[in-house]
Amino acid sequence: MLTRPAPIRIRREVDENASIPRLYLRLTNGFRLVHRTGDVVQLPPLCERLVAFLAMRGPSPRQYLAFRLWPDRSEDHSLSCLRTALWRLPRPDDDPLVQSDATTLRLADHVEVDARLRYAEADAWADAAGPPAGLAVNAFAADILPDWYDDWAIMERERFRQMRLHVLERLSGWATRCGRFAEAITAGLQAVEGGPLRESAHRCLVRAHLAEGNVDEAVRQLAAYFAELDAAGLPHRLSPATTELLPDEALRLLTRCAR
């Protein structure tokens, strides 16, 4: 007989500041649900999958949710697994983590999700403006749900990765234009780490080094890019967007490195 988990009651005093979310779901670098007191809320693995899916995909019909989380099971079995996951969900402060109606499930409103915040920050950045206040390079430095191999998790991780790399490249370009070269290089390095074969990421670093007057550093960065291409068995090709940045001196040095 299944027994519903007892409500998790936080005994320490809670700061009632409305700006602090009651529960904060961190998907970057792994699943972690944190109460605003700092206590970590432990969930069984099947419950983690359910909460993470709803956090990234939003409200979902029960049958669709059951199929995506347990695709190798029959319809009846997958719906049974979903019911079990819902039954086993903890209730911090005696409030549900997942809210439901007859056909649809969604994450409770009092749960704030780091990945959603990153998407909102990216969307808030107007093309011609600088980054929104509070946007930090480190917040875009890592992927979500590493080592999760569910099909939907792989897709969400790649979608998040593409978003964060574009943000890092924009940050690097903006910082270069503002003469903030250390910040430009930091953001560019984070982009390269996330996409070693991504020419646009390497180009951010080349642009920052050249703007700072460091031609040798720019050439060294492109040589590192060529080494990544070699390791992947890809030809040394640079787009016009990159070659147009390079002065003749850099092109001569780069040709020598390529040999």
Contact by Cβ (8 Å): 122, 163: yes
* pLDDT above 50 (res 73): yes
* pLDDT above 50 (res 9): no
| Predicted pLDDT of residue 129 | 81
Contact by Cβ (8 Å): 182, 137: no
Which residues have C-beta within 8 Å of that of residue 210, sequence separation ≥ 6? 218, 245, 246, 247, 250
pLDDT digits (tens, 9 = 90+) for 102-134: 889 999 999 999 999 999 999 999 877 889 888
pTM summary value: 0.87
| Predicted pLDDT of residue 257 | 60
Ordered by start, the domain boundaries in the chain are 23-112, 125-258
| Predicted pLDDT of residue 6 | 47
Greatest Cα pair distance, the chain, in angstroms, is 76
pLDDT digits (tens, 9 = 90+) for 144-169: 999 999 999 999 999 999 999 999 99
* pLDDT above 90 (res 1): no
Helix (H) or strand (E) holding 104: strand 104-107
Contact by Cβ (8 Å): 85, 77: no
Q: Among the CATH numbers 1.10.3470, 1.25.40, 2.50.20, 1.10.10, which is that of 125-258?
A: 1.25.40
CATH class of the domain whose range is 23-112 = mainly alpha
pLDDT digits (tens, 9 = 90+) for 174-209: 999 999 999 999 999 999 999 999 999 999 999 999
| Predicted pLDDT of residue 19 | 61
What's the Cα-to-Cα distance from 92 to each of 36, 101, 111, 203, rounded to whole Å? Answer: 11, 20, 11, 47
